[in-house]
């Protein structure tokens, strides 16, 4: 057991590793050094401070019962020494020492270690454009940022916000600023929100909601610069100039791996310290965890090192590091890339791999998109939910799940994350004994129903087509569309195409009148009846029948509302 443990970074992984290690090895002499003034804060809570869900930003670095998590707290309660405003300048892996600088006094010294933990976190990526240093341009990664942002908004009466980047922080900040009464535009270089996280179809569906809530989305445009003399006045894209008196840059996070890199520790080309399942770096006495490190995928199916900076993973890393230093190693098998974001009434998230990722990997997969209510219709709180599922054709294993909608998608993501990490098939997922009572789910859980439909597709029974694929063919006028909803539904809203309206109950009787030499696509509100229509027509001798997955509820594009 080594006695001197030095931890660089005091936000999430570092304090977790320190506290856990001290509990396991009370004799360890543990020091955390942190460049900033505060430690152990919940950076994920920053957008909710902006939104106004709590008014004292220092809540973010208090314990749940209101005790500040400051150096004195760590000393007294955790038995860990914390030095703030202390920057690590250089690691000497041979001497096993770190050169540090006291940012208050400017004094430098060497701190020796037996084990070193790099928990240096990540920083907001800075795009290579002019204007980032103008006033009223913010990055969101530290409590100071949101305090100054809120203050300026209030004092200067700022009104027009442009957010650069439609990832998690961009979307969380969009909601926060809309709730604060600002006009919000989000500019994203890629032609969808949450690129890399969601497939384009789910992203398009979710984007519709953001627009309905008043967020202006500018997708597929590159920001070339921020204009203004002293203060930002506009954001210039490759296509337009958008007036702005507040600009938030949220184009991703980059790992703070400079220290490691300079010490010769293996990092990936794209950035991020490479660690093994015990969070060890290439140097056996140096660990890394949290937002400065890259992760493995839980089942090894993705070759690349994954950079998914998250407070949850940082905490897990901290524990793994402590256990290994303490001599009780516990391997961490990796992540399933789970992410979630609340966007107004929507929950949007993903676990496992996206369709785009697996198509690029040439995996043989099937997808299914389900839409429906998350509770029985007679429970007044029921809300619609869209689930996109991806499974392997070869072994029927669940590969990924994406959710979007006002319904309870968070629960389904967590279940799917568990099933993916256990290597479960969609058949096993469908048979999970979900907790059923009307306040909590439908008799068959939406995730189970979606898994059933996936098995129907894998078995060649259900011929679903995604909304994106359907739209392409509909736009070309290649298909006969049959809307099998009731007359009352049909009078409420419609897809903006020529459709034949045959309520499902009348379909058996009218099948003889339909053409067998044309591709038919059936749909309904959620396409459960659309699927039944396909089976009815199959039984009547029709081969060229599909149904549009997700129906009208899951339609990512505009719907014609009639009344």
Q: Considering only residues 501-530, where is the footprint of its own copies by CB under 8 A?
A: 504-506, 508, 525, 529
3-state secondary structure of 207: helix
The reply to whether 535 sits near its own copies by the rule CB under 8 A is: yes
How many angstroms separate the CA atoms of 168 and 145, rounded? Answer: 17
Neighbours of 285 (CB within 10 A): 14
Q: Residue from 45, 93, 407, 556 that binds its own copies (CB under 8 A)?
A: 45
Determine, following the binding rule CB under 8 A, whether residue 327 of this chain makes contact with its own copies: no
d(CA 203, CA 196): 10
- Residue that is written with structure tokens 């506290």 in the block: 19
CA nearest neighbour of 286 among 120, 119, 117: 117
Total number of residues shown for the chain = 563
Q: Is 539 in the site for its own copies (CB under 8 A)?
A: yes
Binding-site string for its own copies from residue 381 to residue 420, where x marks contact by CB under 8 A and - marks none: -----------------------------xx-xxx-xxx-
* Known catalytic membership, residue 222: no
With binding defined as CB under 8 A, does residue 339 bind its own copies? Answer: yes
Name the one residue in this structure whose structure tokens are 């996280």.
Answer: 197
Strand partners, 493: 561
Q: Are 340 and 348 in contact (CB under 8 A)?
A: yes
Per DSSP, 356 falls in state H
- What string marks each residue from 474 to 493 as x (binds its own copies by CB under 8 A) or -? -----------xx-xx----
CB neighbours (10 Å) of residue 495? 21
**Of the candidates 1, 3, 37, 67, which one interacts with its own copies according to CB under 8 A?**
67
**Helix-strand-coil split of the chain, %, nearest 5:** 30, 25, 45
Does 243 sit near its own copies (CB under 8 A)? Answer: no
Q: Give all strands (DSSP E) within 493-559, no chain letters.
A: 493-494, 500-501, 519-523, 545-548
Catalytic residue among 13, 44, 222, 292: 44
User: C-beta of 169: minimal distance to its own copies in Å?
Assistant: 11
User: Which of 1, 3, 77, 239 is close enough to bind its own copies by CB under 8 A?
Assistant: 77
The residues in 124-163 that bind its own copies, with binding defined as CB under 8 A, are none
38 binds its own copies (CB under 8 A): no
CB distance 85 to 36 below 8 Å: yes
Of 28, 35, 22, the C-alpha closest to 3 is 28
Q: What are phi and psi of 390, to 5 degrees?
A: -125, 130
CB of 204 to its own copies, least distance (A): 21
Residue 304 interacting with its own copies (CB under 8 A) = no
Closer by beta carbon to its own copies, 225 or else 334: 334
Q: Is 285 in the site for its own copies (CB under 8 A)?
A: no
Binding of its own copies by 62 (CB under 8 A): yes
Q: How many residues bind its own copies (CB under 8 A)?
A: 109
Residue with smaller CB distance to its own copies, 204 or 402? 402
Residue in 438, 491, 515, 557 binding its own copies, rule: CB under 8 A:
438
Annotated active-site positions, please? 44
């Amino acid at each position: 057991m080594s006695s001197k443990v030095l931890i660089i970074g005091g936000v999430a992984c570092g304090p977790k590793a320190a506290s856990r290690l001290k509990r396991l090895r009370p004799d360890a002499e543990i020091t955390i050094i942190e460049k900033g003034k505060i430690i152990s804060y919940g950076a994920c809570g920053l957008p909710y401070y902006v939104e106004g869900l709590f008014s004292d930003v220092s809540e973010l670095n208090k314990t749940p019962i209101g005790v500040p998590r400051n150096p004195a707290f760590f000393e007294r309660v955790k038995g860990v020494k914390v030095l703030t405003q202390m920057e690590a300048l250089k690691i000497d892996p041979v001497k096993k020492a770190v050169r540090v600088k006291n940012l208050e006094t400017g004094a430098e010294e060497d701190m020796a270690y037996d084990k070193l933990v790099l928990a240096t976190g990540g920083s907001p990526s800075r795009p290579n454009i002019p204007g980032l240093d103008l006033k009223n341009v913010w990055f969101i990664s530290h409590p100071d940022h949101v305090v100054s942002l809120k203050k300026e908004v209030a004092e200067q009466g700022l009104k027009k916000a442009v957010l650069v980047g439609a990832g998690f922080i961009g979307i969380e900040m969009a909601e926060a600023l809309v709730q604060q009464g600002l006009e919000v535009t989000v500019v994203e270089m890629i032609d969808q929100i949450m690129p890399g996280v969601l497939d384009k179809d789910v992203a398009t569906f979710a984007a519709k909601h953001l627009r309905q809530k008043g967020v202006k989305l500018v997708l597929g445009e590159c920001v070339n610069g921020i204009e203004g003399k002293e203060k930002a006045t506009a954001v210039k894209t490759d296509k337009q100039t958008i007036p702005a008196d507040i600009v938030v840059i949220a184009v991703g996070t980059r790992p703070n791996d400079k220290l490691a890199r300079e010490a010769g520790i293996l990092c990936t080309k794209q950035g991020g310290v490479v660690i093994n399942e015990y969070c060890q770096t290439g140097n056996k006495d140096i660990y890394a965890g949290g937002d400065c490190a890259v992760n493995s995928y839980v089942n090894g199916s993705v070759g690349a090192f994954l950079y998914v900076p998250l407070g949850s993973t940082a905490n897990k890393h901290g524990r793994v590091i402590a256990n290994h230093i303490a001599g009780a190693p516990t391997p961490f098998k990796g992540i399933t890339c789970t992410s979630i974001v609340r966007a107004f009434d929507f929950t949007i998230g993903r676990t496992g791999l996206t369709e785009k990722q697996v198509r690029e990997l040439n995996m043989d997969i099937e997808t299914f998109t389900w839409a429906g209510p998350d509770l029985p219709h007679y429970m007044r709180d029921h809300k619609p939910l869209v689930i996109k599922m991806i499974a392997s054709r070869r072994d029927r294993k669940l590969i990924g799940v994406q959710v979007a909608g006002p319904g309870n998608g968070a629960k389904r993501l967590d279940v799917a994350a568990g099933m993916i990490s256990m290597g479960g098939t969609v058949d096993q997922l469908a048979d999970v004994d979900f907790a059923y009572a009307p306040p909590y789910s439908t008799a068959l859980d939406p995730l189970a129903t979606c898994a059933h439909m996936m098995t129907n597709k894998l078995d060649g029974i259900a011929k679903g087509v995604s909304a994106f694929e359907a739209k392409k063919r509909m736009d070309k006028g290649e298909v006969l569309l049959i809307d099998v909803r009731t007359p009352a539904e049909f009078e409420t809203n419609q897809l903006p195409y020529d459709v034949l309206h045959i309520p499902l109950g009348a379909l058996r009787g009218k099948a003889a009148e339909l053409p067998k030499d044309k591709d038919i696509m059936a749909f309904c509100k959620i396409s459960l009846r659309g699927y039944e229509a396909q089976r009815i027509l199959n039984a009547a001798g029709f081969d060229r029948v599909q149904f549009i997955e997700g129906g009208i509820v899951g339609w990512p594009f505009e719907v014609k509302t009639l009344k």
